Amino acid sequence: MSNLEEKICIIGGGPAGLSAAMYLEQKGYHNYAVLERDDHVGGKCHSPHYNGRRYEMGAIMGVPSYYAVHDVEEFCGITHDGPKLNRNYKDRNGNVIEPFEPKKNILKIPRLMKMKSQMKKLAELLETKYKGYDINGHRGVSEGRYEGFAVTPGREPVSGENPNLKDLVLPFKQFCEMNGVELVQDIWIGPFTSFGYGYFDEIPAAYVLKYLDFQTTMNFVKINLWTWKEGTQYIWEQLNEHLMHQARLNSKITKVERKDGKVYVTVNGETEEFDKIIITAPLQYMPEYFDATPEEKELFSKIDYERYDVLAVETKPEDHPEISYYVFDNMTPDRYGHLMVYYRRWRDTKDQVITTYALRNHQNKPEIPYEECRATVLEDLKTLKNPASNVVYEKDWYYFPHVDSETYASGWYEKVEAMQGQLGTYYAGEVMSFGDMDETAEYSRELVERFF
């Protein structure tokens, strides 16, 4: 049997799983099945309907450097046709502020000038001292090397040695201080912490900088953003429709057994035989239904994740925010559990919901119960002068699976990557790259290039 005839099981119908199917199909593999537990595809790209339009409960936007997402657009014949996003800022008391405008912050001019200088310094450091920092995936970083595909439209394969990359295992706050660029955190925090990815004193710099490489961060700063009229979920719904084999929804997998060179998957009570399996669902839970090896159990038990809560709320017309707001005051560890950002997606009407976002955990602090965080967010909306009249939908996400600095430094990624292909099993999805739709899709592309 030739490779192209292999029967491949893909667990998960989110961006990682559907992209894996697309890239396999483009290489000539047509004997695959995508198994999705939920009744819809898209994972954390979740765009429910309200009053005839779609709003976002998960991913909101993209940028021009989302090359894998663009691959999907081209495959499906769609484009980023959504509303233009803009934003403003409030302090925790609800006052509108302009933190980056020198004329409005005379006393902050020295700090803003210093920040600008440090931004330039970081850009130079990333190009030189940390060459290879922005390669998709993490293999080699803890050993001071890089290997993967360049973050360019051509995405050519690159590799090299760079001992300085070991610095990326440090928490981002420590990394910035070590390099004398601590003020750049003021820029990076908006598209990182408020987007649910944790706090800079706990998250390894590798995650921050692989997601928010310099060009991506500048796109966020300049509001050079992509959105989709029918929501980010539409991208993956369209991909699913254009695949040769659409995802099988409502697929409950209760057992995966790997023996005699085959993979046996029990789904909805029936056992099916495959040659290989790609896991894009959370690896943390893989041992619950797989015949997991001791090494798999040990490594995947090290995965942590963010407790990121989203509310879709109605307001009275007079209380509807005129724009989306970021609340930097609430993005610090001592204010975890508070509202960090709220989005107004549709600017031409007030009959749509706004969505709120809050983190309720920190590595060194007790987890805040969901209901307590929810109550805090609704109280914050009152303080911010945009009170909610009703909660339409709510979601507490398993968000941004990752490992801590100590685990990262111990070679976690190198150990997992060394297991790729063993027992016919391949590991993909968020934790292998980063928990945004482009990084996960890009990792699936690389996985297919490397092993299929």
Buried b (16+ CB within 10 A) or exposed e, 191-228: bbbbbbbbbbebbbbbbbbbbbbbebbbbbeeeebbbb
The whole-number average pLDDT for the span 383-408 is 97
pLDDT bucket at 99, cuts 50 / 70 / 90: confident
- Rg (the chain; Cα; Å): 22
Q: Whole-angstrom Cα distance, residue 159 to residue 54?
A: 42
Q: Report which of 141, 176, 177, 135 is spatially closest to residue 158, judged by C-alpha positions.
A: 135
Q: What is the pLDDT of residues 54-82, one digit of tens each?
A: 999 999 999 999 999 999 999 999 999 99
Break the chain down into helix, strand, coil percent, rounded to 5: 40, 20, 40
pLDDT of 427 over the 60 cut: yes
Q: Whole-angstrom Cα distance, residue 443 to residue 429?
A: 7
Residues 6+ apart with CB under 8 A from 77: none
Measured from the Cβ of residue 348, the count of other Cβ atoms closer than 10 Å reads: 6
pLDDT above 90: percentage of residues in the chain? 94
The two structure tokens encoding residue 5: 């005839």
Buried b (16+ CB within 10 A) or exposed e, 291-310: ebeeebeebbebbbbbbbbb
Which H or E run contains 358? strand 354-359
Q: Whole-angstrom Cα distance, residue 452 to residue 438?
A: 20
pLDDT of 95 over the 80 cut: yes
- DSSP secondary structure letter of residue 84: P
The whole-number average pLDDT for the span 187-192 is 95
N-term to C-term CA, the chain:
14
In 55-140, the DSSP E strands lie at: 87-90, 96-97
Look up tokens 């803009």; give the residue: 86
Measured in degrees and rounded to the nearest 5, phi and psi for residue 379 equal: -70, -40
pLDDT of 443 over the 90 cut: yes
Q: Whole-angstrom Cα distance, residue 69 to residue 78?
A: 11
Measured from the Cβ of residue 153, the count of other Cβ atoms closer than 10 Å reads: 10
Q: Report which of 268, 292, 290, 289 is spatially closest to residue 35, judged by C-alpha positions.
A: 268
pLDDT above 70: percentage of residues in the chain? 100
Q: What is the pLDDT of residues 200-252, one digit of tens each?
A: 999 999 999 999 999 999 999 899 999 999 999 999 999 999 999 999 999 99
The two structure tokens encoding residue 434: 């980063």
Return mean pLDDT, the chain: 96
Beta bridge partners of 405: none
The whole-number average pLDDT for the span 284-288 is 97
- Helices vs. strands in the chain: H and E counts, helices first: 13, 18
pLDDT of 296 over the 60 cut: yes
pLDDT of 373 over the 90 cut: yes
Q: What is the pLDDT of residues 139-187, one digit of tens each?
A: 999 999 999 998 888 899 999 999 999 999 999 999 999 999 999 999 9
Residues 6+ apart with CB under 8 A from 11: 17, 35, 253, 277, 278, 279, 280, 281
The whole-number average pLDDT for the span 405-427 is 98
The two structure tokens encoding residue 92: 């925790």
Look up tokens 């790997």; give the residue: 258
What pLDDT, on a 0 to 100 scale, did the predictor assign at position 445?
97
What pLDDT, on a 0 to 100 scale, did the predictor assign at position 2?
55
Quote the distance between the C-alpha of residue 305 and its chain's center: 11
pLDDT of 1 over the 50 cut: no
Domains of the chain with CATH codes: 3-55+67-77+228-303+404-451 (3.50.50.60), 100-221 (1.10.405.20), 304-402 (3.30.70.1990)
Q: Whole-angstrom Cα distance, residue 49 to residue 54?
A: 4
The whole-number average pLDDT for the span 252-274 is 98
Q: What is the pLDDT of residues 101-149, one digit of tens each?
A: 877 777 788 989 999 999 999 999 999 999 999 999 999 999 999 999 9
- Cβ atoms 145, 159 nearer than 8 A: yes
pLDDT of 416 over the 80 cut: yes
